[in-house]
Chains A and B, each alone.
Chain A
């Protein structure tokens, strides 16, 4: 079945460091790919998404490119801030309106 694998955390960085969180997927067809972020005490929020190969999703300085050849959707940010500390989830959906399949989540801690 479809699945998402993302790097284990926690990831601990200093402010302004470069961030990469790896995500790979297994799916039939052409899924849509998502990154969600969960700040402490809050619900999941959509961070960015891509719906087809080579699409790049971007938001708040984060970006991820849908790579079909490597079945990957790695999350990157050039300069992290303390406020980026959160849990990040990679997810896929094979069809609009259906449930998402999530990775295990990666905790990011950024210190000043």
Chain B
């Protein structure tokens, strides 16, 4: 199947700093990417839908000024957690949608573990 990478896989930062997470589709073009957040022993919760060349669509309760999403190309979306605080510590997962004719599937990245001290 298609490959989606995330970088970094793990990051530890101080409270108040910003952290950028990259999500790349390595062998296909993704017009749509999704950002999820996963708390321990809980399901993946959709944060936002990222469309190439347009503003991201955020889910209710997700602060768009805190979680900045940029989908600059068909293979790259970035999530920047601005002024991070300990409550932002979580596992962030992206997925990329491949919508080839007759086949539509989402491919997931391996996730990024963010720890804010």
**Which of A's residues lie within 8 Å of B, judged by CB?**
4, 36, 41-46, 89, 96-105
Contacts and interface: CB of A to CB of B under 8 A. Distances in A.
Contacts of A36: 108
List 9 tightest A-B contacts by C-beta distance, closest first: A43-B110, A44-B108, A96-B104, A102-B43, A104-B43, A43-B108, A99-B46, A102-B44, A99-B34
B104 A97 contact: yes
A45 B107 CA distance: 7
Nearest to A43: B110
Contacts of A96: 99, 104
A97 B96 CA distance: 9
Given A42-B110, A43-B108, 7 more contacts: A43-B111, A46-B106, A96-B99, A96-B104, A97-B97, A100-B46, A104-B41
B77 interface: no
A105 B40 CA distance: 10
Interface in B60-98: 93, 95, 97
A46 B110 contact: no
B35 to A, nearest CB: 9
14 contacts: A36-B108, A41-B110, A43-B6, A43-B110, A43-B111, A44-B93, A44-B95, A46-B105, A89-B43, A99-B49, A101-B46, A102-B36, A104-B43, A105-B42
